[in-house]
Amino acid sequence: MKGITFLHLPVLVFNPRKEFDERDSAISSIYYDNPNTWELYTGRLKKTEGAEAIRLRWYGGMENDQIFVERKTHREDWTGEKSVKARFPIKEKYVNAFMSGAMTVESIFEKARKDGKKSEQQIADWEQLAREVQYRVITRKLEPVTRSFYHRTAFQLPGDARVRISLDTELTLIREDNMDGRRRSGNNWRRMDIGIDYPFLQLPAQDVERFPYAILEVKLQTQAGQSSPHWIRELISSHLVEAVPKFSKFIHGTANLFPDQIHLLPFWMPQMDVDIRKPITRGFGIERPVQTSQSTSENPLDDDDDDDDDESDEDGDGDGDKRDGRRPSSSTLHETNGIIFQSHQPHRQGEEGGGGDDDDDGDDDYDPSQDPNIPEATGNALDIEERIAAQRRLMDIGGDDYPLYDSEDESSGQDDLEEAKRIGGWHYRAKLAQHYMRAAGRSTLTAMKFVAPVPRPTAMPTNNGVGGVGRFIPPDQMQVKRFKAPKGK
């Protein structure tokens, strides 16, 4: 899956000046709920209007002291509103005091207000969100119940959010509650006996759920009438992915870790015991697409259907998922032989509602006569079928469509010779002799091409009739005219 994606999109690097560290790709989240009512779990599973999810998230290892408090609110289509995800940053040392109500909201953002790096409006929005989250946690008696951990690899062209892909691997769900007479997190907001040390072998089996697949998420933003990239459609229809709409890490982990308390299960749970592997499909995703200059619009916020779809936002101002005002996409989840795949079908510009079920086959309705790469026919030109055939031959020779792998016979031979030279001895002498023999053979073949008889062109006879190829024009009827080229030509 990574190999196919690499052919089309580069890995998105958030901080190119920092050396790669596997810990930087780790994402951990602590989900809150009431262990007596499970109201947040039930609301998210049923997708009821106003259903909320509250979580605390951090990126990297346990030493990271910047924590993001996040709230996701689901909105039904009939309300005309979009589902909302909002968050604010807080230092790790203040989390317990904030969640218990011992620390006021104003004191959390006092330093941010003094620094002046954030606008007053931004800080006011954070304060309002913090008050609502704190009130909900205290009045609803919410506690940490489930942790999710995974490594995320993001694929995206820098500055271009038309196609965004993330691959979450090593997904692990862990209990954070204090039920069954065991104090896992105790009075802390997260348990401290583990870090990001996958596969968490120190945990008892009843405390951990290791997800057997990876989760692939695709987000697309396209203009009205524009279909998704062909390679994306091939990937979705391949044997690598299996559809699981509305999949949620929080719901899946909670349902598996608390089987005695949870009685309402998500629809995909029975599928986890079924072999989802399919017959292998070949020949998809191995050719790079022809570059186009079509413009697209972009997505302001991640869609609510994905429970864990946000990207790293270092300053916590919510801009990590914003670009320049593109509409959000609606999500559809897929699950695979080793990969669960989540695709986001685009909302089209100028359309209302959730266009998540749009069936786009724009490339299938191909009209050759509208292709600008095929020249317009003239009186004695080739017809449309002949022009298409000629166009394909030109592309085979070296047009815009280029193959993924070029011939490496010559370069590989030179590489072998260099490697033999490094080793030395009889191995190098044998390779050197072989190299000279090949060069001599190529020279001999070139010389034979000049010596061998070749057909000579025959002059076309003149035709004194009217029209036709080789029409004879008497010298006295010939005219020579000079034309001055327009300025700038």
- Tokens standing for residue 47: 């997708």
Residue keyed to tokens 């070296």:
398
Residues 6+ apart with CB under 8 A from 215: 150, 167, 168, 171, 247, 249, 339, 340, 341, 342
The answer to whether residues 222 and 345 touch, using CB atoms and an 8 Å cutoff, is no
Phi and psi at 397, nearest 5°, equal -70, -35
Residues 6+ apart with CB under 8 A from 139: none
The answer to whether residues 228 and 222 touch, using CB atoms and an 8 Å cutoff, is yes
Instruction: Give the 3-state secondary structure of residue 68.
Output: strand
The answer to whether residues 129 and 167 touch, using CB atoms and an 8 Å cutoff, is no
CA distance 85 to 71: 6
The string of DSSP codes covering 141-191 is T-EEEEEEEEEEEEEEETTEEEEEEEEEEEEEEEE----TT--SSTTSSS-
C-alpha distances in angstroms, 458 versus 293, 461, 463? 47, 9, 15
Instruction: Give the 3-state secondary structure of residue 361.
Output: coil
C-alpha distances in angstroms, 195 versus 22, 26, 267, 394? 14, 11, 31, 57
CA distance 66 to 89: 7
The answer to whether residues 375 and 282 touch, using CB atoms and an 8 Å cutoff, is no
Just list the catalytic residues: 249
When computed from its CA atoms, the radius of gyration of the chain, rounded to whole angstroms, is: 32
C-alpha distances in angstroms, 56 versus 29, 32, 38, 51, 361? 5, 8, 18, 17, 40
The answer to whether residues 344 and 245 touch, using CB atoms and an 8 Å cutoff, is no
